[in-house]
Amino acid sequence: MALDAEIQVRRGDVTIAAAFSAGDRETLALLGPNGAGKTTIVETIAGLVPAATGRIFLDSEPIHDLPPEKRPVGIAFQDGVLFPHLSVLENVAFPVRARGARSRASRAHALELLERLAPGIAPNAKPRTLSGGERQRVALARALAGAPRVLILDEPLSAVDVSGRADLRALLRRTLGDFHGPRLLVTHDPVEAMTLADRIVVLENGRITQTGTPEEIRDGPRTRYAADLVGMNLFAGRLMPIEAGAGALQTGDGVVTVPWPDEVAVGPLDDVLATLAPTDVVLHVSRPEGSARNVVRGVVEEVAILGDRARVRLDSSPPLVAEITTGSATRMAIRPGTMVWASFKAVEIDLMVEPEPTDTL
């Protein structure tokens, strides 16, 4: 099953125009800044934007003329948009009942989904008593309840505080992976897009500026925005404590010294993700003397010029992307083949600790 969309929406003086496809069991992230039109695009697919024109096909079957209630689309809205007057259970049962199922059958189905996606939430609780992360879990269950053929998640992590984010990200990854059909993920967070999506569509000001796998976009961002957002250094591996407040992140190709994550017990941790902005990587022609904890040496692989900035890819351990001004690139005579030193401070690294995979999904 595949989704093909070609959509135009006039919104004020911005025209959103986008054409994209999502394959069967493919997670496509729509990544872009606020106001880029991401939500408008997915709500158009759900049939909620009357002003939209264009064509939407699901397995070459047109759905763009169907009213929203007839479209086989399950959507978890940003902030949940749970019905405040209904309980958690009634919210999740809503899509089933709306399609004519009996109350008892729909409740059983909803309970089963809640047990899987939102264990520990009382089924008869009202949405206003839930935390942001709990609301999002219920919204996810509700999106799946109607047995949709397309799954849409709109900013599923934005209303969730940092402590609940890793748990929810792991759940999202499993849920997306288990869903048979195209999946769309709206996000402004590059890490979310890179860790959850198979392919990324970068959207700026209503237009698609780039489409590609996370690796393709990380290695060759085509706009300044994509470079800033997606061109992050990403490290993944096992985190070992080395001293008070610091740890060593052992990746497949190199070790990085990082600050020990807050509120996490000291001890070895698996599946830790860390990001580092290329602008926080400093390049030197000789071994630096400063206080930075991480110092590596490597050969320049590639230099890409984006306006007055140069993105430099280093074949170091671990491999790094640095972003410096074109002026300093010229001064240091940086070109492919040059041997340089790179340094970055531990405190510039953003850590994301994934929880232990405890449940049996």
For residue 62, the tally of other CB atoms under 10 A from its CB is 11
Measured CA to CA, the distance from residue 344 to residue 199 in angstroms comes to: 29
Q: Report helix, strand or coil for 340.
A: strand
Q: Which residue lies nearer to another protein by CB, 30 or 46?
A: 46
Neighbours of 305 (CB within 10 A): 10
- Both tokens of 67, joined, read 């009213």
Give the nearest distance from C-beta 110 to another protein in angstroms. Answer: 12
Q: Minimal distance in Å, beta carbon 230 to another protein?
A: 29
Phi/psi at 294 (nearest 5 deg)? -110, 120
Nearer to another protein, 101 or 264 (CB): 101
Residues 6+ apart with CB under 8 A from 57: 3, 4, 5, 63, 64
Q: Which is nearer to another protein, 71 or 165 (CB)?
A: 71
Cβ distance 187 to 193 under 8 Å?
A: yes
The C-alpha angle 19, 305, 332, rounded to 5 degrees, equals: 160
CB of 251 to another protein, least distance (A): 41
Binding site for another protein (CB under 8 A): 43, 46-48, 67-69, 71, 73, 75, 77, 81, 83-85, 94-95, 97-99, 142, 145-146
Distance CA 129, CA 327 (A): 55
Tell me how far, at minimum, the Cβ of 40 lies from another protein, in Å.
12
Q: How far apart are CA 357 and CA 82, in angstroms?
A: 28
Residue 100 or residue 337: which is nearer to another protein going by CB?
100
Is residue 332 a contact partner of residue 290, using CB atoms and an 8 Å limit?
no
C-beta closer to another protein: residue 46 or 334? 46
Least distance CB 50 / another protein (angstroms): 11
Nearer to another protein, 85 or 287 (CB): 85
Least separation in angstroms between CB 176 and another protein: 19
CB of 34 to another protein, least distance (A): 17
The CB-of-6 to another protein minimum distance in angstroms stands at 21
Tell how many helices (H) and how many strands (E) occur in the chain: 9, 20
Decide whether 156 or 212 has the Cβ nearer to another protein.
156
State the minimum distance, in angstroms, from the CB of residue 125 to another protein.
17
CA 6 to centroid of chain Cα atoms = 23
Q: How far is the CB of 26 from another protein (least distance, A)?
A: 22
Nearest Cα residue to 88 out of 62, 115, 125, 114 = 125
| Pick 98 or 299: Cβ nearer another protein | 98
User: Tokens 């890793």 map to which residue?
Assistant: 166
Residue with Cβ nearer another protein (43 or 228):
43
* Separation CA 349–CA 243 (nearest Å): 17
Considering beta carbons, is residue 143 or 249 the nearer one to another protein?
143
Rounded to whole angstroms, the Cα distance separating 156 from 192 reads 10
Q: What are phi and psi of 192, to 5 degrees?
A: -60, -45
Q: Is 250 exposed, middle or buried (0-12, 13-18, 19+ CB in 10 A)?
A: middle
